């Protein structure tokens, strides 16, 4: 017997001091449908306390959202809640469940899971639960039914994004002064979907799953401005961050112009937006800069064109395109943030990484971020890695450990020495781009075994740029100690 408390508990493993627009949107829908709602962030407290918090709330529905490497944690939490004798319906959603439903639904503690965008399905689901109706025949949901599972079709993507309510930004309480890494900022999205097929990204398979839908979709300028205004009246915000992978790369110029004119008049806040390098064009940059664009992350990824094309499947983008993109952005004094992937599955990852660093030096970016490749199951690169023997079929998932793009590679390289040096190089890559004269010294430092000192150097450098460096946040002792605490927690966990 399920309780009828009309309460939904949203559960995530961590929020990494960022917003999570997915559940924030679902939370708005819950409120619209007359539910009370609460959030539990499992890793923000001892497990016992998190379980007690959930039990005390007595939810009718527990809604979990997770990325692949968070799934073990939330699945385990749900199992413990079910074992405690609480009566609730559990529903899971997010990219991991979209791509792995067969494996996930084997867990009897999971009552339903959602494939793809949740807004419509979740609304129908909670309406049915509230009204004590059947909830087994809803598009996008796989629902447990006695001993069996009803697998409804995935349906299509939402074509009109303006029908989606604004995210419930009170769900995740972000202390905008202390807790937020990039100052008083909030995330927002202009659109959804990406037409590219990078091998390490979810989009290739996502787009195949929804091949009959329009992939690239945008909200109207009116709808965007309305939400931005709503945020600025409700919160003390200094910066907006567009989460979109590449919205201004694909929005028609006319729409960008209309948006910039209104943003400049009605919102007037600095903002961050990212680009695909080959899509950076000067007219657009000028309009955006005038409206408030001050920082642009751009995917550089790999300096070796052949590896970028064959292994990362970056599409038609050359080093020449990348150099041109940075020239334009630098010329207009936009802070450029080059994003790169290191320790790639090639015979000599060290040489490729050195090529990437050298390309970055040419770009003169404001700062360069380097991540070690974290492979995601059900992406093209995952298949490549298993076929070529870089990973076992489910070795990373069964290890119950979060692989990290900041520490060491999870891949098995034939030449262990080269891989270890590439791991070391990653720790100094950002510094070498900013101070190229240090590159010869770095080449010597990487010959030593990987160690904690190198790791700390990386995390301090990364932490600096992620907070004070790029976003111009004011330095404070609270921020500094918060940072140290985060680094210690991070190193303990991995």
Copy the structure tokens of residue 74: 């939330």
Q: Are strands 141-145 and 112-114 parallel, antiparallel or unpaired?
A: antiparallel
E strands, 111-163, are 112-114, 141-145, 148-151
Site map 383..422 versus ligand B12, x via CB under 6 A: -------------------x--x-----------------
Q: Which is nearer to ligand B12, 409 or 442 (CB)?
A: 409
Taking CB under 6 A as the rule, does residue 118 contact ligand B12? yes
List the single partner that 421 binds among ligand SF4, ligand B12, none, CB under 5 to 8 Å by kind: none
Taking CB under 6 A as the rule, does residue 201 contact ligand SF4? yes
DSSP-based helix, strand, coil % in the chain, nearest 5? 45, 15, 40
Q: How many CA atoms lie within 13 A of 198 on its CB side?
A: 18
Contact with ligand B12 (CB under 6 A) among 77, 122, 263, 275: 122
Distance CA 376, CA 229 (A): 37
Site for ligand SF4 in 244-273 (CB under 6 A): 245-246
Which DSSP symbol is given to 332?
T
Taking CB under 6 A as the rule, does residue 95 contact ligand B12? yes
Ramachandran category for residue 313: left, alpha or beta (phi over 0 → left; psi -120 to 50 → alpha): left
Size of the site for ligand SF4 (CB under 6 A): 8
Q: Which is nearer to ligand SF4, 227 or 246 (CB)?
A: 246
Size of the site for ligand B12 (CB under 6 A): 34
Contact with ligand SF4 (CB under 6 A) among 5, 72, 100, 203: 203
Copy the structure tokens of residue 115: 């494939």
Taking CB under 6 A as the rule, does residue 371 contact ligand SF4? no
Contact with ligand B12 (CB under 6 A) among 202, 384, 390, 428: 202
Question: Any idea what the Cα angle at residue 176 is, between residues 173 and 178, rounded to 5°?
Answer: 105
Tokens 């489910």 belong to residue: 394
Burial class for 457, CB neighbours closer than 10 Å (0-12, 13-18, 19+)? middle
Taking CB under 6 A as the rule, does residue 344 contact ligand SF4? no
Tokens 């990212």 belong to residue: 274
Q: Which is nearer to ligand SF4, 316 or 452 (CB)?
A: 316
| Dihedral of alpha carbons 56, 58, 59, 62, sign | positive
Q: How far is the CB of 243 from ligand SF4 (least distance, A)?
A: 11
List the single partner that 20 binds among ligand B12, ligand SF4, none, CB under 5 to 8 Å by kind: ligand B12
Taking CB under 6 A as the rule, does residue 22 contact ligand B12? yes
List the single partner that 73 binds among ligand B12, ligand SF4, none, CB under 5 to 8 Å by kind: none
Taking CB under 6 A as the rule, does residue 198 contact ligand SF4? yes
Copy the structure tokens of residue 6: 């009309």
Burial class for 478, CB neighbours closer than 10 Å (0-12, 13-18, 19+)? exposed
Copy the structure tokens of residue 291: 């409206």
Which DSSP symbol is given to 198?
-
List the single partner that 405 binds among ligand SF4, ligand B12, none, CB under 5 to 8 Å by kind: ligand B12
Q: How far is the CB of 140 from ligand SF4 (least distance, A)?
A: 22
Taking CB under 6 A as the rule, does residue 194 contact ligand SF4? yes
Q: Which is nearer to ligand SF4, 33 or 246 (CB)?
A: 246
Q: For residue 8, list its beta bridge partners.
A: 37, 61
Stretch that binds ligand B12, among 23-31, 250-258, 347-355, 462-470 (CB under 6 A): 23-31
Burial class for 131, CB neighbours closer than 10 Å (0-12, 13-18, 19+)? exposed
Q: Which residues bind ligand SF4 (CB under 6 A)?
A: 194, 196, 198, 201, 203, 245-246, 276
Q: Which residues bind ligand B12 (CB under 6 A)?
A: 16, 18, 20-23, 25-26, 63, 65, 67-69, 91-96, 114, 117-119, 122, 189, 201-202, 243, 245, 371, 374, 376, 402, 405
């Amino acid at each position: 017997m399920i309780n009828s408390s009309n309460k939904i508990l949203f559960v995530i493993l961590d929020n990494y001091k960022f917003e999570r627009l997915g559940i924030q949107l679902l939370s708005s829908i819950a409120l619209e449908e007359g539910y009370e709602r609460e959030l539990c962030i499992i890793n923000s407290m001892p497990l016992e306390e998190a379980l007690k918090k959930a039990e005390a709330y007595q939810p009718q529905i527990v809604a979990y959202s997770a990325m692949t490497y968070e799934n073990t944690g939330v699945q385990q939490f749900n199992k413990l809640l079910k074992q405690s004798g609480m009566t609730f319906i559990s529903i899971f959603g997010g990219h991991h469940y979209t791509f792995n439903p067969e494996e996930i639904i084997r867990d009897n503690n999971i009552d339903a899971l959602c494939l793809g965008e949740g807004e419509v399905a979740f609304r129908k689901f909670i309406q049915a639960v509230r009204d004590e109706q059947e909830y087994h025949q809803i598009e996008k949901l796989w629902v447990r039914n006695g001993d069996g599972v009803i697998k409804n079709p995935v349906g299509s993507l939402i074509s009109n994004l303006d029908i989606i309510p604004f995210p419930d930004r009170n769900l995740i309480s972000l202390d905008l002064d202390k807790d937020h890494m990039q100052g008083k900022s909030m995330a927002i999205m202009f659109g959804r979907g990406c037409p590219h097929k990078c091998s390490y990204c979810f989009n290739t398979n996502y787009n195949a799953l929804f091949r009959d839908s329009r992939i690239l979709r945008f909200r109207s300028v009116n709808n965007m401005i309305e939400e931005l205004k709503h945020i600025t009246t409700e919160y003390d915000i200094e910066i907006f961050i567009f989460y979109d992978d590449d919205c201004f790369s694909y929005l028609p110029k006319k729409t960008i112009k209309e948006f910039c004119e209104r943003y400049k008049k009605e919102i007037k806040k600095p903002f961050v937006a990212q680009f695909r390098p080959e899509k950076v064009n000067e007219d657009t940059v000028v309009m955006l800069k005038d409206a408030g664009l001050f920082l642009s992350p751009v995917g550089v990824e790999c300096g070796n064109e052949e590896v970028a094309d064959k292994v990362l499947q970056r599409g038609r983008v050359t080093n020449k395109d990348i150099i041109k993109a940075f020239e334009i952005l630098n010329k207009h004094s936009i802070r450029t943030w080059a994003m790169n992937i290191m320790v790639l599955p090639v015979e000599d990852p060290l040489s490729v990484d050195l090529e990437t660093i050298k390309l970055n030096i040419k770009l003169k970016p404001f700062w360069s971020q380097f991540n070690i490749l974290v492979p995601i199951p059900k992406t093209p690169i995952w298949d490549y890695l298993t076929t070529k023997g870089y990973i076992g079929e489910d070795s990373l998932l069964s290890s119950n450990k979060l692989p990290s793009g900041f520490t060491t590679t999870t891949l098995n390289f034939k030449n262990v020495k080269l891989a270890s040096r590439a791991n070391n190089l990653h720790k100094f890559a950002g510094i070498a781009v900013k101070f190229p004269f240090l590159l010869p010294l770095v080449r010597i430092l990487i010959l030593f075994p990987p160690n904690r000192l190198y790791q700390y150097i990386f995390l301090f450098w990364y932490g600096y740029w992620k907070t004070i460096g790029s976003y111009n946040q004011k330095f404070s002792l609270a921020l500094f100690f918060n940072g140290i605490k985060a680094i210690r927690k991070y190193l303990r966990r991995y």
